[in-house]
């Protein structure tokens, strides 16, 4: 994003919020779907790039209006402005992303607090009324690629030492019965890039980006924390079982995690910029899963 584009976003914001004319504006993110602007390290303004992103932002605001009072976890308090241009604003959740190496450096007590806090969040969000969430705009999760497509696109890109594991994972997925816990409204995006983590205090200050939330198989909720660490996933699952009385199938979560990695690899296999990263993500999962499948 060049300075002229940032200047145009500043103008759009200050037309609605003239009191921010003297504030510090910085580009927070420039993603595929939206551009985010940080104002004075206290407000986040999000501008959708296209029609699909605009619809997703409107949906996210409606969903968060139901989620916020139902969960203890801090989540964005979105206010929409119709524009033009359409944009949202919310108070900034202070914190940074939680990548795998940062989680690995956390002491036992901090890991346990994080696992317990995320388990409570999932238990609370899964208790929301599915019909109400659907009426607010929550739809079925976007389907993954078929096993046939994954075999054709992902397997050739998987390193030879992990190809057998990839084939075993696909076969296990094909043989899998429907989720024994059924479907639920859920976040379905609980990786470290959607977390506001205070590394100095070793505390999670909030979760954001609910545009991809929706209704899907309950076990799929627990695969995204594996992008941080399988240790974190195990802690979340253990506390979730205690809170809800549900019994979760860890092997199912493992297989779904592998299929998630393979789907993303298949989707980006022809993308020279992103394919190597998808291979690294799969390799990291394979190094943990190989002895368990």
Which sequence spans correspond to the domains of the chain? 3-91, 100-289
Say whether 100-289 and 3-91 share the same fold.
no
pLDDT of residue 290: 67
**pLDDT(284) > 60:** yes
pLDDT of residue 31: 63
pLDDT of residue 292: 67
For domain 100-289, give its CATH number from 3.40.50.300, 3.90.1200.10, 3.40.50.11900, 1.20.1600.10: 3.90.1200.10
pLDDT, one tens digit per residue, over 171-212 is: 999 999 999 999 999 999 999 999 999 999 999 999 999 988
3-state secondary structure of 129: coil
**pLDDT(224) > 70:** yes
Angle (CA) 128-132-138 rounded to 5° is 90
Whole-number average pLDDT of the chain? 94
**pLDDT(3) > 60:** no
pTM: 0.92
Q: What is the CATH number of domain 3-91?
A: 3.30.200.20
Q: φ and ψ at 170, to 5 degrees?
A: -65, -45
What is the band of 83 on the pLDDT scale with cuts at 50, 70, 90?
Answer: confident
**pLDDT(33) > 90:** no
Q: What is the mean pLDDT of residues 102-118?
A: 98
Query: In this structure, what DSSP letter does residue 125 have?
Result: H
């Amino acid at each position: 994003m060049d300075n002229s584009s940032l200047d145009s976003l500043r103008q759009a914001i200050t037309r609605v919020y003239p009191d921010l004319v003297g504030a510090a504006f910085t580009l927070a993110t420039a993603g595929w779907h939206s551009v985010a602007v940080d104002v004075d390290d206290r407000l986040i303004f999000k501008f959708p790039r296209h029609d699909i992103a605009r619809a997703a932002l409107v949906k996210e605001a409606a969903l968060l209006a139901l989620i916020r009072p139902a969960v203890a976890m801090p989540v964005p308090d979105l206010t929409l402005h119709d524009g033009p241009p359409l944009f949202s604003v919310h108070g900034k959740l202070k914190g940074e992303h939680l990548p795998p190496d940062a989680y690995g450096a956390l002491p036992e007590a901090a890991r346990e607090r994080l696992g317990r806090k995320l388990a409570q969040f999932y238990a609370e969000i899964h208790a929301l009324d599915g019909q109400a969430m659907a009426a607010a705009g929550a739809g079925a999760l976007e389907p993954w690629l078929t096993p046939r497509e994954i075999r054709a696109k992902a397997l050739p890109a998987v390193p030879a030492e992990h190809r057998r594991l990839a084939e075993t994972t696909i076969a296990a997925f094909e043989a899998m019965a429907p989720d024994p816990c059924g479907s639920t409204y859920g976040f379905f995006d609980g990786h470290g890039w959607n977390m506001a983590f205070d590394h100095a205090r070793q505390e999670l200050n909030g979760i954001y980006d609910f545009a991809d939330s929706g209704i899907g198989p309950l076990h799929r909720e627990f695969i995204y924390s594996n992008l941080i660490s399988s240790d974190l996933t195990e802690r979340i699952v253990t506390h979730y079982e205690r809170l809800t009385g549900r019994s979760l199938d860890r092997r199912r979560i493992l297989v779904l995690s592998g299929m998630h990695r393979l789907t993303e690899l298949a989707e980006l296999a022809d993308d020279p910029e992103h394919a190597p990263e998808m291979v690294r993500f799969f390799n990291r999962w394979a190094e943990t899963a190989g002895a368990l499948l």
